[in-house]
């Protein structure tokens, strides 16, 4: 973009790039390395970057002997439920938002921006109280509800964009051909909306999977804890020997989001999702 | 001017739009919106309002009696609370530090990634990976990197023969805050980079070429072509980054839980302790209120200055 730089310019650019790669990459390499180290190497005072005797026992240990296995299952349940519910609830609303103009819709979309401003502390205490009143404090159902509500504004925002991209003419043509409203929605809108629904589901799955604060406060029973909370508790009791399973568990906890990002790569680079995925 | 009732079904703004058989009654619209708006109302808008109200009460955990309205009492207490001022100062240092550093680094990286360089693909993937990690995992990862015995950083200093620089990064009074700020930068940089890169790709090539033909130096073209074109993106992303950082919790909770000696006690961590360790709901909510007001005020100042510069 700056035309052809000089030779020194090029060298400087590559040096800078190398600096960035080290800064971004090395912590990740260290996590990988720790995850594959046997216990003996974890307690060594001067650790090596590449394990002498790499092993997968940390991964096995993290998800069989430790509470992390159960926590991963909890997270999976909660995140799947959040994803499905978010899509089911957001679908009709986003259709209405895209196709009809209404003050209510504008207000809902405005809430997306506004809700970014408020610190969770302001919401968490009343939410905690509301859930306790209806008997949903310390339950996965309560957590799912929170996650759906939390994912909804952005899901609506994203999904109504997908609806707008479906040409209105297609719907009108079908209705002229005598299709009922429900038929039009099922045969025309729904299939064309599929990629948007997948994206919405993935988004709400990931935000539930990564979420920490609400899960920490709302779930008190250790057996019900989600993966981020269990991992954080694991840190608290870390002896050097536990670093291995901790690193392994962390890697596995990252997998779903990595897959999601790989999926959404193109949309991400357009910046449209940029505001959404923030812990 | 015809009255609304006489207005045909066709809307003025969209001439291509033909009469739509589905453009129907309000009831349908509300029925479609209800499943979304009801939960948002019950679990987001209402709690928010109640949270604001709680900040003016003496609500406490484990007390079933009606909370009583205490007006500004919480705020007077906050003003005199050294721990609050400490957390506020640290929160500001953290939010400004992370936002500025991550912006500068991200801008540099975005400019590099916008060039025809080898390893650009690797860098683009790496630039996204930290973003894909759950904040708790980022915290754990850096705990491993900072680990006093088995950590990457101390081992690096050992390898280059600088054992004197080895320290307990997260446990030492003087290094704890810079150490967590670095993690914040690492975690937030990818997103900022991606946004800036998207912005850069929107900067017209022709403008650059025209400027180059006119003999403008690289720096001049950056200063007078790229930066102004990028300004709206920069304002948007730095504002958002600042809000996110000011309100962040999980990362530092995992890294230090606010320690050592409150050196990394962000406002959110302080409020969390007040609410869920000591049960002072009203007090914590008051702190939340203060934070919202501060954020809005700071943003207003920042945005107004930016907008004035833009005009």
Interface residue A111 vs chain B (CB under 8 A): yes
> pLDDT of A55-98, one tens digit each?
888 888 887 766 888 999 999 999 999 999 999 999 999 988 88
Per the CB < 8 Å rule, is B119 touching A16? no
Give the chain B residue nearest A50 (alpha carbons). B152
Q: What is the pTM of this model?
A: 0.85
- Give the residue with greater pLDDT, A5 vs A275: A5
Per the CB < 8 Å rule, is B50 touching A129? yes
Residue numbers of A between 19 and 58 with CB closer than 8 Å to B: 20-21, 23-28, 30-31, 34, 42-47
Cross-chain CB nearest to B292 (options A3, A90, A119)? A119
pLDDT score, position B12 = 44
> pLDDT of A185-225, one tens digit each?
888 888 888 888 988 898 899 999 999 999 999 999 999 99
- Give the residue with greater pLDDT, B65 vs A245: A245
> pLDDT of A39-54, one tens digit each?
878 777 777 788 888 8
Per the CB < 8 Å rule, is A269 touching B240? no
How far is it, in rounded angstroms, from Cα A260 to Cα A47? 33
Closest CA–CA distance from residue B270 to any residue of chain A (Å)? 10
Closest CA–CA distance from residue A168 to any residue of chain B (Å)? 8
Average pLDDT, chain A: 84
How far is it, in rounded angstroms, from Cα A87 to Cα A198? 9
Centre a 10 Å sphere on the Cβ of residue A177 and count the other Cβ atoms it contains: 9
CA-wise closest residue to A227 among A215, A244, A236: A215
pLDDT band, residue A278 (cuts 50/70/90): very low
Q: Identify whether the C-beta of residue A126 lies closer than 8 Å to the C-beta of residue B54.
A: yes
Q: Identify whether the C-beta of residue B264 lies closer than 8 Å to the C-beta of residue B180.
A: yes
Q: How far is CA B3 from CA B7, B21, B24, in A?
A: 6, 22, 20
Give the chain B residue nearest A214 (alpha carbons). B250
pLDDT score, position A239 = 61
Cross-chain CB nearest to B36 (options A90, A115, A118)? A90
CA-wise closest residue to B175 among B149, B153, B190, B150: B153
CA-wise closest residue to A144 among A198, A224, A259, A221: A224
Q: Is the backbone peptide bond immediately before B260 cis, with ω within 30 degrees of 0?
A: yes
Give the chain A residue nearest B38 (alpha carbons). A149
How far is it, in rounded angstroms, from Cα B289 to Cα B295? 10
Interface residue A138 vs chain B (CB under 8 A): no
Closest CA–CA distance from residue A181 to any residue of chain B (Å)? 7
pLDDT score, position B17 = 46
Percent of chain A with pLDDT over 70: 90
* pLDDT one digit per residue (tens) for chain B, 311 residues: 444 444 444 444 444 444 444 555 778 888 888 888 888 888 888 999 999 999 999 888 876 556 788 889 999 999 999 999 999 999 999 999 999 999 999 999 999 988 888 877 777 777 778 888 899 999 999 998 998 888 888 888 888 888 888 889 999 999 999 999 999 999 999 889 988 988 888 776 777 777 777 777 888 888 888 888 888 889 888 988 998 899 889 999 999 998 899 999 999 999 999 998 999 999 999 999 999 898 889 888 888 887 777 66
How far is it, in rounded angstroms, from Cα B152 to Cα B182? 15
> pLDDT of A228-239, one tens digit each?
999 998 887 666
Percent of chain A with pLDDT over 90: 29
Q: How far is CA A76 from the centre of its chain?
A: 12
How far is it, in rounded angstroms, from Cα A279 to Cα B108? 24
pLDDT score, position B160 = 87
Per the CB < 8 Å rule, is B253 touching A232? yes
pLDDT score, position A219 = 93
Give this complex's ipTM: 0.85
Mean pLDDT of A13-29: 90
Residues of A in contact with B222 (CB under 8 A): 2
């Amino acid at each position: 973009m700056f035309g052809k730089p000089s030779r020194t310019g090029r060298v400087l650019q590559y040096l800078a790039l190398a600096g960035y790669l080290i800064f971004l990459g090395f912590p990740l390499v260290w996590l990988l390395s720790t995850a594959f180290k046997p216990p003996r190497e974890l307690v060594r005072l001067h650790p090596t970057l590449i394990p002498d005797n790499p092993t997968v026992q940390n991964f096995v240990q993290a998800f069989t002997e430790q509470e992390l296995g159960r926590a991963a299952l909890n997270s999976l349940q909660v995140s799947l439920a959040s994803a499905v519910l978010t899509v089911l609830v957001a679908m009709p609303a986003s259709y209405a938002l895209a196709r009809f103009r209404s003050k209510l819709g504008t207000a809902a979309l405005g809430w997306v921006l506004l809700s970014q401003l408020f610190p969770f502390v302001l919401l968490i205490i009343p939410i905690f109280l509301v859930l306790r009143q209806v008997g949903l404090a310390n339950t996965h159902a309560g957590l799912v509800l929170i996650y759906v509500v939390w994912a909804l504004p952005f899901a609506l925002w994203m999904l109504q964009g997908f609806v707008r991209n479906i040409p209105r003419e297609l719907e009108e043509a079908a209705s002229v051909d005598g299709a009922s409203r429900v038929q039009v929605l099922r045969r025309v809108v729904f299939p064309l909306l599929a990629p948007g629904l997948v994206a919405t589901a993935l988004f709400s799955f990931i935000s539930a999977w990564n979420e920490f604060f609400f899960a920490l406060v709302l779930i008190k029973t250790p057996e019900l804890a989600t993966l981020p909370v269990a991992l954080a508790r694991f840190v608290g009791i870390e002896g050097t020997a536990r670093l291995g399973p901790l690193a392994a568990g962390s890697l596995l906890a990252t997998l779903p989001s990595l897959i999601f990002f790989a999926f959404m790569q193109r949309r991400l680079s357009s910046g449209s999702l940029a505001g959404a995925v923030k812990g | 001017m015809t009255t609304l009732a006489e207005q045909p079904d066709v809307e003025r703004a969209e001439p291509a739009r033909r009469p739509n058989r589905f453009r129907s009654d309000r009831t349908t619209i509300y029925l479609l919106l209800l499943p979304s708006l009801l939960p948002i109302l019950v679990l987001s808008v209402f709690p928010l309002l109640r949270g604001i109200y709680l900040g003016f009460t003496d609500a406490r955990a484990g007390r079933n009696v009606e909370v009583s309205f205490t007006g500004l009492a919480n705020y007077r207490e906050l003003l005199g609370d050294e721990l609050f001022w400490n957390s506020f100062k640290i929160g500001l240092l953290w939010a400004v530090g992370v936002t500025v550093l991550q912006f500068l680094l991200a801008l540099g990286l975005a400019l590099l990634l916008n060039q025809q360089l080898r390893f650009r693909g690797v860098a683009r993937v790496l630039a996204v990976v930290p973003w894909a990690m759950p904040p708790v995992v980022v915290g754990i990862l850096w705990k491993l990197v900072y680990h006093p015995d088995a950590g990457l950083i101390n081992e690096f200093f050992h390898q280059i023969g600088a054992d004197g620089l080895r320290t307990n990064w997260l446990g030492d009074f003087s290094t704890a805050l810079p150490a967590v700020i670095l993690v914040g930068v690492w975690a937030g940089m990818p997103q900022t980079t991606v946004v800036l890169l998207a912005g850069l790709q929107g900067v017209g090539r022709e403008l650059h070429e025209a400027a180059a033909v006119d003999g403008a130096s690289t720096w001049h073209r950056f200063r007078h072509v790229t930066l102004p074109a990028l300004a709206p993106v920069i304002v948007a992303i730095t504002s958002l980054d600042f809000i996110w950082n000011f309100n962040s919790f999980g990362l530092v909770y995992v890294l230090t839980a606010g320690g050592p000696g409150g050196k990394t006690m962000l406002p959110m961590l302080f409020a969390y302790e007040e609410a869920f360790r000591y049960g002072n709901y009203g007090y914590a909510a008051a702190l939340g209120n203060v934070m919202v007001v501060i954020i809005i005020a700071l943003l207003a100042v920042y945005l107004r200055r930016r907008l004035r510069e833009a005009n």
